[in-house]
Chains A and B, each alone.
Chain A
Amino acid sequence: MSLHLPRHTHTQRKAPQVQRRSTTVTRGCLIVVLSILIFLADSFTNFEIATAVLYVSVVLLGAQFLSSRHLWHIAGLCAAMTVISLSITPHGNLHSGIINTALSITAIFATTLMATRMLKAIAAEHEARLQLIHLARVNTLGELSTSIAHEIKQPLTGIASSTSAALNWLSTTPPNIERTRSALNRITADATRTADIIERIRQMSRRSTPEFQIIHPTSLIQNIIDITHTDLLRNRITVSIDNRYEGAFISADEVQIQQVFINLIINAIAAIKATNRLNGHIVITIEPAEKHFVALNVSDNGIGIPEDALNHIFEPFHTTREAGTGLGLAICRSIIEAHGGHIHAFCSETNGTTFRFLLPLFSRVQ
């Protein structure tokens, strides 16, 4: 998909990477300041007061953003500072001082050990979640496989028929070059169309770490409608896009947001199918929301969700469909929250469900 970069921005927000770097610097400064304060307090209070135990807060703060190796370095430094404090403290009972120093050093290393274990667990969980998102995406592709096959067979039929036509035009006497050429041109166009479809699918199934790009929501949604086109058609569902926030751009991982939309559309199709109605309709609205957010709504006129079930739909493995894994909406929530937004669902009076999610606005072009 092509990216339309804004030429002129009004409310510029920092891109996620820049934001992350600035927080790291702030935290680093905080650690240094805290360590110095603790060192001074430890050095100029009596031996009996174990101020050095407070170094654990430095370690815990470090655990928020440092790797295990760096955490051990910090712990070592804290221990060294405790020993230095011991040698320069002027007042109190030296015996208590030695015991307190030993206790503080033990506390520092014990905390570091716990913190590194926690980091390892968080890393494992992160990895597991990435795998899950990938799995769910592959699963979604599975659900779409009939559509995909249908999409590809159309241009293939065109190619096959145009080839036969071209051969026939060549075998006339004299050969009809003009008609042959136009048949060959159609073949090229159909081949390009097939390649485009395959490329779109490949992008969806590719496993990648989130990549933030600046996206125009309407073109992303149009792309989704193209992908789900046959499924919608088969169930006679019409889709309309209502853009009430012209020129809004979001910074998001395109593939992941596509995944959210596809899951929501698959759900909407299932909800409409359950009513057996013939005028199935999905409305996707883009509108401004509070505090520099863009709200995206996916509404259907399907069977709706019972009031008591609404609170559980985003929980993993909660499903009402026979072949469902119960992961679709859980993945949606996980993706939206990773983008700094949130998602919720509600049922309207006229039956049907609306899923509404907010994503941070990147910029707006007037």
Chain B
Amino acid sequence: MSNLPQSIVYIVDDDVSVREALSDLLESVGIKSVLYTSADDFLSSPRLDCPSCLILDVRMPGQSGLELQNTLNAMKISIPILFITAHGDIPMSVRALKNGAVDFLTKPFSDQVLLDSLHSALEWHKAERERYQERCVLQERYESLNVGEREVFRLVVRGLLNKQIAGLLGVSEITVKVRRGHVMRKMACNSLACLVRAHDYLFA
């Protein structure tokens, strides 16, 4: 776990025994954690910009864990959530997992199960953050294309020839060639394959 020194785990549980024991357990394997007593407490605190995971109790005073999950989804905050509960039932776990939870553990749980889940959640979030970064860069590059270039981009990745594109857009083949060159340069691609991958990434 020490290979993820830059990550943080948020623990939201109203029970002090659970909170402190979990935090100590994570610290003993080198994972830093921040403790919150309620959903509102978590929402009103600043989050760190690093790979993270949320360990969330289902039943809490005020906003429940499942509601916090909905709130985060509505706010488009992408953070893996690992639910822990003392009285899990099937509909509850289905709802949580359908809404994107990484795991649903019933208290008391084995530390190994928790740590395994946590590890994969942190890895996932790390990769997700990288993907997000990449998507942002691509998006920025795409924004720099003008309307004509975007149309050429759209048709090129569909495998059409310059001549066909020229026919469809009603411009000369030379214009298509020039715009295609601009697209390749602005999107920082040196091959058609790279361009297709960028397009998939943007519009997947």
Residues of chain B contacted by A146 (CB below 8 angstroms): 87
A189 lies within 8 A of chain B by Cβ: yes
Instruction: Name the interface residues of B73-125: CB closer than 8 Å to any CB of A.
Output: 84, 86-87, 107-111
Contact mask for chain B residues 59-81; partner A; CB cutoff 8 A; 1 contact, 0 none = 11100000000000000000000
Q: Report the separation of the CA atoms of residues A182 and B24 in the bound assembly, to the nearest whole angstrom.
A: 10
B24 touching A179, Cβ below 8 Å:
yes
Q: Report the separation of the CA atoms of residues A183 and B29 in the bound assembly, to the nearest whole angstrom.
A: 14
Instruction: Give the number of residues in B that approach A within 8 Å (Cβ atoms).
Output: 22
Residues of chain B contacted by A183 (CB below 8 angstroms): 21, 24
User: Counting chain B CB atoms within 10 Å of each CB, which of A153, A165, A190, A234 scores highest?
Assistant: A165
A342 lies within 8 A of chain B by Cβ: no
Question: Known: A153-B108, A165-B25, A179-B24. Contact between A158 and B86, CB under 8 A?
Answer: no
A233 touching B28, Cβ below 8 Å:
no
A163 (CB) vs chain B CBs: closest residue: B111
Residues of chain A contacted by B84 (CB below 8 angstroms): 157
Q: Report the separation of the CA atoms of residues A182 and B65 in the bound assembly, to the nearest whole angstrom.
A: 29
A208 lies within 8 A of chain B by Cβ: no
Give the interface SS of chain A, mostly helix, strand, loop or mixed: helix
B3 lies within 8 A of chain A by Cβ: no
What's the minimum C-beta distance from A6 to chain B, rounded to whole angstroms? 34
Among candidates B18, B21, B28, B59, residue contacting A169 with C-beta atoms closer than 8 Å = B28
Q: Report the separation of the CA atoms of residues A140 and B198 in the bound assembly, to the nearest whole angstrom.
A: 63
B28 touching A160, Cβ below 8 Å:
no
A193 touching B17, Cβ below 8 Å:
yes
Residues of chain A contacted by B140 (CB below 8 angstroms): none
A153 touching B107, Cβ below 8 Å:
yes
A156 (CB) vs chain B CBs: closest residue: B108
B21 (CB) vs chain A CBs: closest residue: A161
Residues of chain A contacted by B20 (CB below 8 angstroms): 158, 186
B108 touching A157, Cβ below 8 Å:
yes
A168 touching B17, Cβ below 8 Å:
no
Instruction: Give the number of residues in A that approach B within 8 Å (Cβ atoms).
Output: 29
B134 lies within 8 A of chain A by Cβ: no
B22 lies within 8 A of chain A by Cβ: yes
A158 touching B25, Cβ below 8 Å:
no
Residues of chain B contacted by A230 (CB below 8 angstroms): 59
A160 touching B109, Cβ below 8 Å:
yes
A155 (CB) vs chain B CBs: closest residue: B17
What's the minimum C-beta distance from B37 to chain A, rounded to whole angstroms? 13
Question: Known: A157-B18, A161-B18. Contact between A186 and B24, CB under 8 A?
Answer: yes
B58 (CB) vs chain A CBs: closest residue: A234
B130 lies within 8 A of chain A by Cβ: no
Among candidates B27, B59, B61, B108, residue contacting A160 with C-beta atoms closer than 8 Å = B108
B84 (CB) vs chain A CBs: closest residue: A157
A150 touching B86, Cβ below 8 Å:
yes
Q: Report the separation of the CA atoms of residues A172 and B25 in the bound assembly, to the nearest whole angstrom.
A: 13
- Jot down 6 A-B pairs with beta carbons below 8 A, ordered by A: A153-B107, A161-B18, A165-B24, A165-B28, A190-B21, A236-B61
User: Which residues in A have some Cβ–Cβ distance to B below 8 Å?
Assistant: 146, 149-150, 153-162, 164-165, 168-169, 172, 179, 182-183, 186, 189-190, 193, 230, 233-234, 236
Give 15 new A-B contacts, CB below 8 A, not counting A158-B17, A168-B28: A153-B86, A154-B18, A154-B107, A155-B17, A157-B18, A157-B107, A157-B108, A159-B108, A161-B22, A165-B25, A169-B28, A172-B28, A179-B28, A186-B20, A233-B60
Closest 8 CB pairs of A and B: A158-B17, A168-B28, A164-B111, A161-B21, A153-B86, A157-B107, A165-B25, A157-B108
